[in-house]
A and B are shown apart, each in its own frame.
Chain A
Amino acid sequence: MSHEAEEAVAAVGVTTKTFLNVWIALLAITGLEVFLTYEQLPVLIMLTALLGLSVIKAMLIIGYFMHLKFERFSLFLSLFPILIMCIILMLLLFLPDSMRLVHMRLAR
């Protein structure tokens, strides 16, 4: 292996077994999501559970498959806090309004 290749492998710091474990975890969470779908939960509880599981899957993909876990923390700080804040703002602004709307429509 060349010196450059050795450096690259050392920087990534993960093995094939780690990737396989992450893949199995992602498949297991997907199976759990499908199982929850048929448990007939109320819409909001279902939405919260599915979103929570999706966020866990996203963290696994970003952290291990996209290698962000092994990058400098400054890269994470420059990219993600603002993205997360924008998504939270969208959630806080729009989701309560959709719930208000559904109650108005059901009351009619």
Chain B
Amino acid sequence: MSSQANAAVTSLWEGGRSPYAVNSKKFGMWLFVVSDALTFSALLMAYTYLRVSTPNWPTPFHFSPSIVFSSIMTFVLLSSSLTMVMGVHTMNHGNRKATVGWILATMAGGLAFVVLHLREWLNLINNEHITIFGNPMDVPLFGGTFFTLTGLHMTHVICGVIYLGIIAAGVGRGKFKAEDVEVSGLYWHFVDLVWMFIFPLVYLMSARI
């Protein structure tokens, strides 16, 4: 029995078959997601390290507008993940028109997130006088880590919106297949996933109580 099991395992890995049962595009995206997750982990670790080790760490996030805005941004991003997963679902059923609609809804969520985030940035810069180089609380590393981390995430969201636009156009013309939509979905969910750590560790941990 065990020799039969061994033979089955060996044959899976000796070539000619996909041991993961996923196509190369999807596997490539998974590898990208894991490597990018390490980048964000390092940045989040840097922020958390400074947050814990600095007794006078700034807490500029008032309930209104900062926490309210970032909570709405979380809702928008989670909802855009739901519309994306619906897009993948309808594409698996072969309904291209509905898929384009769901992807466009996802893009709208992404754009709303970027607009809200920029408004939140402007609030910090104009009202709290926090920039990437300094702030009135005299903890310049706060601005440095905050804008780097959230800026990199916002760049990912903007790239995601452009990527989804290309996929939606391709699906509408009958060019892309279900696997292409699923791969773009993986990227979008990853962007959502990163925010699930940025929101509590950056915003909630530095909220003004």
Interface residues of A (CB under 8 A from B): 1-2, 4-5, 8-9, 12, 16, 19-20, 23, 26-27, 30, 33-34, 36-38, 40, 43-44, 46-47, 50-51, 53-54, 57-58, 61-62, 64-67, 71-72, 74-75, 78-80, 82-83, 86-87, 90-91, 94-95, 97-99, 101-102, 105-106
| Residues of B close to A47: CB separation below 8 A | 48, 52, 201, 205
Interface residues of B in 46-89 (CB under 8 A from A): 48-55, 63, 67, 71, 74-75, 78-79, 81-82, 84-86, 89
Main secondary structure on chain B at its contact with chain A?
helix
A1 pairs with B89, CB closer than 8 A:
no
A96 to chain B, nearest CB (A): 10
**Assembled-state Cα–Cα distance A45/B149 (Å):** 23
Contact with A along B13-57 (1 / 0, CB 8 A): 000000111100001001100100110011001001111111100
Q: Is the CB of A30 within 8 A of B45?
A: no
- Count of chain B residues near A, Cβ 8 A: 54
Is the pair A50, B204 in contact by a Cβ cutoff of 8 Å? yes
Partner of B20, one of A4, A43, A44, A74: A74
> Quick check: A30 and B53 within 8 Å, CB to CB?
no
Q: A102 contacts B45, CB within 8 Å?
A: no
A34 touches B71 (CB 8 A): yes
Selected from A61, A79, A82, the residue in CB contact (under 8 A) with B30 is A79
Contacts of B190 in A (CB 8 A): 66
Residue of B nearest to A9 (CB): B92
B185 / chain A contacts, CB cutoff of 8 Å: 65-66
Given contacts A30-B74, A90-B45, A102-B52, is CB(A72)–CB(B205) below 8 Å? no
B197 engages A27 (CB within 8 Å):
no
Q: Give B41's nearest chain A residue, CB to CB.
A: A87
